[in-house]
Amino acid sequence: MDIKTMKMQDVKTRVYDAIEKAKQLQPKLNAVVTFVDVEEQLEALKQIPSDAPLYGIPVVLKDNVNTKGILTTASSRILSNYIPVYDAAICEKLKANGAIIIAKASMDELGMGGTNLSAYSGPVHNPYDTTRISGGSSGGSAVLCAAGVAPLTIGTDTGDSIRKPAAYNGVIGVKPTYGRISRYGIIPYASSLDHVGYFTTTVADAAAALHVLAGRDDRDMTTGNEPVPAYESLINDDIHGKRIAVIDNIIEAVKEEAIVQSFESLLTKLEERGAVIEHVRLNDELLSVLLPTYFIIANAEATANHSNLDGIRFGVREAGESVEEVMINSRTKGFSSNIRKRFVIGSYSLFVENQDKLFRKAQKVRRLIVNEVKAVLDQYDMILTTAAPTIAPHPEDSVDEALSDTYLIAENHMIIGNFTGYPCMTMPCGFVSDMPIGIHMMAKPYCEQELFNIGSAIEAETGLKGITAEVKA
């Protein structure tokens, strides 16, 4: 159900129906970490104009978004008792525009992963086939949107953590321009790569959500000063003459023929609408080092960002005979082995003797990748590719940070959106074996309107506007 349709219902009905649906689906999907008592928010809604964009609309937050007085775990044991004393900037904006926050959604631990198998509360399941993964790290938010619990759910994206789950779950995932939405109050992963974004089931809702969430925030100095347009009212699906670049060496890395055929069919339909489709190539060597470059930068920044999770200042504390022992015990028991591995790698790359040959070299490679992509977008309105090379896999078949050529490029190319900070959106384009598949769009900085315009044309061609999954027993 989209926002417009949901507004036709009584406020309390739609809010409590959403909560009840999430509770009924919880045993099957395991997507919620904490259900939120909404009575205080409903009372506060009386002070909000009834024509507010999100008036009485149930919204779900990823569990790395700080919520005053509400458990916020980032799906990690070390934060399993953490209750923030303030709201994140996006919470303030959502509430000011009438939204009702009903739940905090599961994620990969501290946002570090792409499967949502690592959450302290257990794995999240795909609503189209609960034996398959949701993708991550924003898997819980994606699943709750896809299952029709809430028409707007919040996520964060550091590598493809909104866009991959969106593809796996058949919803729209938006990662706007770096700094378009304030990160104040978001538990970080990697500061130069982190983006706040969201999931919806329609392009119109995606446009309306960005109008609410975007804008300058002096508490986050990375936010931009660019004005925020009324995106939804400006949507124009006339794409005649729009220049769209297809990155051939990304498509060539996709081995699932049905996904390639679906993508090519969409290209034909866009050409029939008047779009100019041209094929280009990026440097193969740069594409092959996307993941290693990301791994070094992200883990180095994560190591610095999470040095405060020590069991002393806040979070779960494990006993010890000294401050040092308390910290060691708290971090050892508080983090999974995968997170500890990432911190070791991050620390190693930040050692003074290693910074030039690892961290700074990775930053230089990142700049080369950014320049390569910028050169393409200097000539085109948008870059269009597949979002994922497969349907959502089963847990035993899922690959996180594999180093084969297929996975280095086809599985991880959306990292480019975080390296560049350019706005990106994934949306469903069809089904393979009864599972959704998606496409990925990237535009120039602050050109989210281009994504919504072309996305609206794609939505019209696919007929997948507003789809949700019927979760089977």
**What's the CA gap between 51 and 315, in Å, rounded?**
40
CA distance 425 to 459: 12
Residue that is written with structure tokens 């690959």 in the block:
399
For this structure, is 50 an active site residue?
no
pLDDT tens per residue, range 169-202: 999 999 999 999 999 999 999 999 999 999 999 9
Catalytic residue among 106, 118, 134, 137: 137
287 close to 372: Cβ distance less than 8 angstroms: no
The residues, any chain, with a CB within 8 Å of residue 276's CB and separated by 6 or more, are 241, 242, 243, 244
The counts of H helices and E strands in the chain are 17, 13
Under a CB-based contact definition with an 8 Å cutoff, are residues 114 and 161 in contact? yes
Computed over its alpha carbons, how large is the radius of gyration of the chain? 21
Q: Which listed residue (62, 95, 175, 444) is catalytic? A: 62
pLDDT digit string (tens) for 3-61?
Answer: 999 999 999 999 999 999 999 999 999 999 999 999 999 999 999 999 999 999 999 99
Find out whether 373 and 286 touch, Cβ atoms under 8 Å: no
Examine the residue annotation and report whether 191 is marked as an active-site residue of this protein.
no
Catalytic annotation on 137? Answer: yes
Residues 6+ apart with CB under 8 A from 463: none
How do residues 262-293 score in pLDDT, each as one tens digit?
A: 999 999 999 999 999 999 999 999 999 999 99
Decide which of 3.30.70.1900, 3.90.1300.10, 3.90.76.10, 3.40.640.10 is the CATH code for 3-235+453-462. Answer: 3.90.1300.10
Q: What sign does the CA torsion over 196, 197, 198, 204 have?
A: positive
Could you identify the residue written with the tokens 């925030």?
217
* Higher per-residue confidence, 353 vs 400: 353
Q: How far is Cα 287 from Cα 297, in angstroms, rounded to an integer?
A: 16
Q: Which of 106, 121, 134, 161 is catalytic?
A: 161
Going by pLDDT thresholds of 50, 70 and 90, the confidence category of residue 113 is very high
Q: Whole-angstrom distance between the N-terminal and C-terminal Cα of the chain?
A: 21
Rounded mean pLDDT of 203-224? 98
pLDDT at 240 over 60: yes
Peptide bond into 137 cis (omega under 30): yes
Q: Percentage of the chain surpassing pLDDT 90?
A: 96
The pLDDT value given to residue 190: 98
What pLDDT, on a 0 to 100 scale, did the predictor assign at position 403? Answer: 52
- The C-alpha atoms of residue 31 and residue 131 are separated, in whole angstroms, by 14
Average pLDDT, rounded, for the chain: 96
- pTM of the predicted model, to two decimals? 0.97
CB atoms closer than 10 angstroms to residue 372:
15
> Which residue has tokens 């769009």?
441
Q: How many CB atoms lie within 10 A of CB 220?
A: 16
DSSP labels, 174-202: EE-STTSB--TTBPPS-TTT-EEEEEESS
Domain layout of the chain by residue ranges: 3-235+453-462
